[in-house]
Amino acid sequence: MTAIPRQPLRYAVALSATALLVSGCGLGAEIDREVNPEREPTPGATRPAPSGTATPSDLSLGPEPTVGPSTPTAPPCPKSGVTMAPGMVTATMGLRAMSVRAINCGKGVRELNGYPDIRVRGLDRQLFDVTVLKGTEPITSMENPEPSRIRLKPGQSAYTSLVWRYSAVDASTKRGSGVYVEIGTAKGAPRETIEPDGGLDIGETGMLGTTAWQRSPEDDGR
């Protein structure tokens, strides 16, 4: 299995955290509560965030856009006909999020329904002790989309979002961090190994939330 390089990150505001909402309350609102629990109004002009610090509007759970001719040549399509493409890990306060796209790189129609099947391994390739959840509670109170049948034509994609809480990690050994994520479209489906940028710093929190597969917004209407 081949690690897929992460896609460039830059999505429109409409495809930010609200891309995962079933109703108005989602991860964006959850982040706002963490950053400003008292919901106090900010007087005057908004101060820019310190360099290197993500703001609530920076945290996106949606898939990342397909770019133009400058995109590197994709690796060969696996026998499963589906390849995985991780997005950038985004963070604010103690909450982390990353989207993973499942792309139909084959010739036939592929069908997804439900949640991804995930294993996490550490730097030593040993299984990482983490509980993979179907849904995102109790990690965050955002509402989750219900699983639905998605038919992907060649070139179309669906995405899932992974969320977790930060826990301290030994920077020298990455102990407490999941380095390799083996992900399949469903239980029993072939898994592909991806390497999230910076790893999953789950540490002792021990939980990884997932959302059900959703059709990528750019494929709506196709």
- Tell me the pLDDT of the chain (222 aa) as tens digits: 444 444 433 333 333 333 433 333 455 555 555 555 555 554 444 444 444 444 444 455 566 555 444 455 667 899 999 999 999 998 888 899 999 999 999 999 999 999 999 999 998 999 988 999 999 999 988 778 899 999 999 999 999 999 999 876 665 555 667 899 999 999 999 999 999 988 888 877 889 999 999 999 987 666
Residue with tokens 């999020």: 97
Contact assessment for residue 32 and residue 93, using Cβ atoms and an 8 Å cutoff: no
In terms of pTM, does the model score above 0.85? no
Tokens 């991806």, located at residue:
194
Backbone angles phi, psi at 221, to 5 degrees: 85, -5
What gap in Å lies between CA 103 and CA 214, rounded to an integer? 12
Q: What is the gyration radius of the CA atoms in the chain, in angstroms?
A: 17
Q: What letter does residue 84 receive in the DSSP assignment?
A: E
The beta-carbon contacts of 17-20 under 8 Å, at least 24 apart in sequence, are 17/56, 17/59, 17/60, 17/61, 17/62, 17/97, 17/142, 19/60, 19/61, 19/62, 19/63, 19/217, 20/61, 20/62, 20/142, 20/144, 20/145, 20/161, 20/211, 20/214
Alpha-carbon span 85 to 7, nearest angstrom: 7
